[in-house]
Amino acid sequence: MIFSEKDIQQIELKGLDVTKVKRQIELFENGIPFANLVAEATINEGILRLTDIDIEQLVSYFESKKDLVSILKFVPASGAATRMFKFLYSFLEEYDLEKGSINSYINKSKNNDLSLFFIGLDKFPFYHIVQNKLQETDPNYDSLSINEQRLKFVKMMLDNEMLDYGNSPKGLMPFHKYKNEVVSTAFEEHLYESALYSSSNESTKLHFTISEKHNHKFDVEFSRIEKYVEEKTGSKFDISFSYQKESTDTIAVTPKNKPFRDDDGSLLFRPSGHGALIENLNDLNADIIFIKNIDNVVTYKYKDEVAKYKKVLAGILLRIQEQVYKYLQLLDDDTIASEERLIEIGEFLVNKMNVNISPEFEKYSLKYQIEYLAEKLNRPIRVCGMVKNEGEPGGGPFWVKDESGNISLQIVESAQINKKSKQQKQILKNATHFNPVDLVCGTKNYKGEKFDLKKFVDTKAAFISMKTKTGKDLKALELPGLWNGSMANWNTIFVEVPLITFNPVKTVNDLLKAPHQIK
């Protein structure tokens, strides 16, 4: 592949280099291998199930340690709310007021989502906001037919420049309505939750990855709620933001794997998915980093229960990390690393950290055994909550074999699995748990130094998808997902957590579910 001088300038302006872009094109040419599932992770076979006593002890342990470490919450929040309203956009495109009632349209189109939306209309947190805007802008609104009112309601909510929810970041959408019509956003709810497990002697720290064009909107929202939230939680907040870096964009290619070019001849680069956020995560400095999606929040009455399980996951991380650090310090001193101690460390890796040890280990020299165990221990650690599989689309916990024959615990998306293989399909079908994106991460080594997280990425665990641009087909490349291939070489512990910890808002109707309602 030969690039022109103009191409090279464009590549370098994005913070990329030609070698990196050529490697991306090679991925298109060679294809990306499917994940090689060995088995589904289940209770006692990769997923830890806790007793009530375990939970109580872990919460106490975290509470006793939290003021000795720095804590930060990392929230991917760049997504627009557009997909929440997909069925409403279809309704606006298809419905003709002159051809009949909305109920007739619903019956004919069998649009159950639209039916539920209108049935629960006054229970949405934004209902009174939209109604007030309609009455302000249209003096005759109250005298309109029910069909006209509903049509105007949806248009005002999605497309009117005063509200424009369809183009707003999901984090700033009204999610919950409290007494006296007080509305909170997903962004605000993350602040309340985080304050429940932050350090007592420093500010509650959160970092949101957002779209650069929405930066001012988050600043305005935080300024509006800061004093109120601080009074309610008794905590000060330290909020920071970052954007997905242009240098993580990937080149698009034609169906024949040639660089896709815009009409002006320039190369087309596209954002590479949430896997790009490993760069943002790598820039952060904290002893413990909680990771949770922007739309996975609950109303205030459920906060304590949700926060309890964050403390549980963090308690496991701190306990494991403490033992890892002790072992690594021992391995640093060759004279202390006796044969008995090496066996003990190996058993700890297998039984507590789900790390497979080479069957050839006992044949290694003492020096190499020490190096081998140290390399296995000295990695970032993630403790991931897993909920019972209720049929949600998305990733799950599996035992996976890599190209070198190493078997490890991984979070695998269904798109990474070869559905044409009966064996792989059966393992997927047998999966008992689902990944709700509920992680607590340790990203520092036993000397207190930050790991370079980019060194622990499986670059081959990427995704290729078909897209279009100006009516032309193209192939797009997504980097390994943040909690998938981007953390493939971390040490991983999966823990069963209850469903109350998983309350995403993928469609607007999810806001009608109990954890998002006050009554």
> What span, in angstroms and rounded, lies between the C-alpha atoms of 384 and 412?
13
Report yes or no: 13 and 440 within 8 Å, Cβ to Cβ. Answer: no
pLDDT per position as a tens digit, 320-337: 999 999 999 988 876 666
DSSP 490-519: SEEEEEE--GGG----SSGGGGGSGGG---
Higher pLDDT, 460 or 387: 387
> What span, in angstroms and rounded, lies between the C-alpha atoms of 170 and 78?
8
DSSP 222-274: HHHHHHHHHHHHT--EEEEEE---GGG-EE-B-TTSSBPB-TTSPBPEE---G
Count Cβ atoms within 10 A of the Cβ of residue 374 and give its class: 0-12 exposed, 13-18 middle, 19 or more buried: middle
* Among 114, 194, 186, CA closest to 153: 114
Report yes or no: 209 and 243 within 8 Å, Cβ to Cβ. Answer: yes
Q: What sections of 386-504 are H helices per DSSP? A: 422-430
Which residues, including other chains, have CB under 8 Å from residue 152's CB and lie 6 or more apart?
A: 134, 138, 141, 144
What are the structure tokens assigned to 124, written together? 């949405």
| Average pLDDT of span 369-384 | 95
What local confidence, expressed as pLDDT, does residue 334 receive?
62
* Among 292, 253, 302, 248, CA closest to 271: 248
> What span, in angstroms and rounded, lies between the C-alpha atoms of 115 and 362?
65
Strand pairing class (407-412; 237-242)? unpaired
> What span, in angstroms and rounded, lies between the C-alpha atoms of 237 and 257?
48
Count Cβ atoms within 10 A of the Cβ of residue 221 and give its class: 0-12 exposed, 13-18 middle, 19 or more buried: middle
For residue 111, what are the CA distances in angstroms to 102, 148, 310, 489, 507? Answer: 11, 19, 38, 44, 14
For residue 436, what are the CA distances in angstroms to 50, 68, 90, 394, 502? Answer: 18, 28, 28, 9, 6
> What span, in angstroms and rounded, lies between the C-alpha atoms of 459 and 214?
30
Would you give the end-to-end CA distance of the chain in angstroms? 62
The most confident of the ranges 19-28, 375-384, 400-409 is 375-384
- Residue 468 pLDDT > 70, yes or no? yes
> What span, in angstroms and rounded, lies between the C-alpha atoms of 406 and 399?
10
pLDDT per position as a tens digit, 201-239: 889 999 999 988 888 999 999 999 999 999 999 999 999
What local confidence, expressed as pLDDT, does residue 339 receive?
80
Dihedral of the CA atoms 348, 317, 321, 361 (nearest 10)? 30
| Average pLDDT of span 397-401 | 96
| Average pLDDT of span 380-388 | 97
> What span, in angstroms and rounded, lies between the C-alpha atoms of 29 and 21?
13
Provide the 3-class DSSP secondary structure of residue 166. Answer: helix
What local confidence, expressed as pLDDT, does residue 457 receive?
95
Read off φ and ψ for residue 44, nearest 5 degrees: 70, 0
Which residues, including other chains, have CB under 8 Å from residue 426's CB and lie 6 or more apart?
A: none
- Where do you find CATH 3.90.550 in the chain? 5-80+247-516
Higher pLDDT, 415 or 442: 442
What local confidence, expressed as pLDDT, does residue 391 receive?
72
Residues of the chain with pLDDT > 90: what percent?
76
What are the structure tokens assigned to 184, written together? 């909170």
pLDDT per position as a tens digit, 270-307: 988 889 999 999 999 999 999 999 999 999 999 999 99
What local confidence, expressed as pLDDT, does residue 75 receive?
97
Q: Does domain 5-80+247-516 have CATH number 3.30.920?
A: no
DSSP 7-29: HHHHHHHTT--HHHHHHHHHHHH
User: 465: part of which helix (H) or strand (E)?
Assistant: strand 463-469
Residues of the chain with pLDDT > 70: what percent?
98
What are the structure tokens assigned to 466, written together? 């078909």
| Average pLDDT of span 173-182 | 90
> What span, in angstroms and rounded, lies between the C-alpha atoms of 88 and 85?
5
| Average pLDDT of span 22-44 | 93
Sign of CA dihedral 61, 409, 366, 362: positive
Q: What sections of 354-458 are H helices per DSSP? A: 366-377, 422-430
User: 313: part of which helix (H) or strand (E)?
Assistant: helix 303-332
What local confidence, expressed as pLDDT, does residue 469 receive?
86
Report yes or no: 131 and 123 within 8 Å, Cβ to Cβ. Answer: no
- Residue 111 pLDDT > 80, yes or no? yes
DSSP-derived letter for residue 408 is: E
